[in-house]
Amino acid sequence: MQNYHITEDLEAGMGGVYQATVQSGKPSRLSWAWKIVGAIFLIALCSVASVGIAWYFMNHIQGERISALGRAAELQSSSEQGPVHPQHMLAQTANNTKAAIHLHVSGNDDSSLRWVNDVDQSFEIGGLKLENNEIVIPSDGLYFVYGQASYEVHCDSSEGGQELSYEISWFSNAAPSADRKYLLNGVKSVCQASVKKDEAVFEVIYLGAVFRLYKGDKLSAETNNRTYIDAQSSKTFFGVFQLAHAS
């Protein structure tokens, strides 16, 4: 009985030592309101970001689709029309000009270049004419003059190097001198020391520029070695087309 009373007294004495130090209370209404406002703002921000990202990708995909359709249409149009030859493109361009002429070299073994009209893609329109192997200018204006000479040379080492030249010359009554003058000139060197005997060498000389020409002017094209000329129509030619009338 004595032990029982001691234990009871100890429990009673310790009761004053261990007292609750944290008191639970109800959360503030203002704190809850701010939390709700923050959550709503975060949801709205995420929604706007999602809409923006979706709009960007939809426009990007749509743009790619339009570009792809455009390229497909271009390819289909090109395939339906077939390959376009440069000579054919030149003829189409000439149809939109005021005057034009495009000549091919004759395949005959002449000592000089002989130009021909109405063969393959060669033509003349708008008053430009081939007369006595010369192009005659019909009226004053700006003209684009061009020409190309293609060569096939079989080199002989005993002869050493050779020079090939192609020039377009001009005669005009309006010029101070009656002598024929070079409008354009090109030179290529072939058959150098490194080339083997009988080795074929292929060279091309292209000329082209814009000139102010006058009615009655005459243009001619010549080379220093007709023997080496490749007479295919796409390789050796001579032509003029008008860009504008004289102002």
Q: What is the pLDDT of residues 37-82, one digit of tens each?
A: 677 767 767 666 666 666 665 665 555 555 544 544 554 554 455 5
* Mean pLDDT for all residues in the chain: 76
Confidence of residue 186 (pLDDT cuts 50, 70, 90): very high
Q: Which residues contact 187 (CB under 8 A, 6 or more apart)?
A: 163, 164, 165, 205
What number is the average pLDDT over the span 202-230?
94
Q: What distance in Å separates the CA atoms of residue 57 and residue 54, rounded to the nearest whole number? A: 5
Q: How many CB atoms lie within 10 A of CB 98?
A: 18
pLDDT value at residue 111: 80
Residue 194: predicted pLDDT: 66
Q: Are strands 218-223 and 129-131 parallel, antiparallel or unpaired?
A: unpaired
Position 10 confidence tier, pLDDT thresholds 50, 70, 90: very low
pLDDT digits (tens, 9 = 90+) for 85-143: 555 555 555 556 679 999 999 877 678 899 999 888 899 999 999 999 999 999 999 99
Q: What does the alpha-carbon distance between residue 208 and residue 210 come to, in Å, rounded to a whole number?
A: 7
Domain boundaries, the chain: 31-83, 86-245
157-180, pLDDT tens digit by residue? 666 678 899 999 999 988 777 788
Q: How much is the pLDDT for 153?
A: 87
Q: 242 and 140 in contact (C-beta within 8 Å)?
A: no
pLDDT at residue 188, rounded to an integer: 92
- In sequence order, the β-bridge partners of residue 187 are 165
> For the residues 182-203, what does the mean pLDDT come to?
83
Output the pLDDT for position 157.
64
In the chain, what is the straight-line distance between the N-terminal and C-terminal CA atoms, in Å? 140
Q: Is a pLDDT exceeding 70 seen at residue 221? A: yes
Question: Can you give the pLDDT at residue 245?
Answer: 87
Q: Identify the pLDDT of residue 8.
A: 46
Instruction: Show Cβ contacts of residue 175 under 8 Å, excluding neighbours closer than 6 positions.
Output: 181
Q: How far apart are CA 135 and CA 3, in angstroms?
A: 143
Per-residue pLDDT band for 154 (boundaries 50, 70, 90) equals confident
Query: In Å, what is the CA distance from 247 to each residue of 139, 142, 193, 243, 244?
Result: 12, 10, 53, 12, 8
- DSSP secondary structure string, 29-64? HHHHHHHHHHHHHHHHHHHHHHHHHHHHHHHHHHHH
CA distance 233 to 49: 65
Fold of 86-245: Jelly Rolls (2.60.120)
Query: In 3-state terms, what secondary structure has residue 76?
Result: helix
Cα distances (angstroms) measured from residue 210 to each of 22, 86, 213: 100, 20, 9
For 19, 32, 48, 88, the CA distances from 25, given in Å and listed in that order, are 17, 14, 38, 95
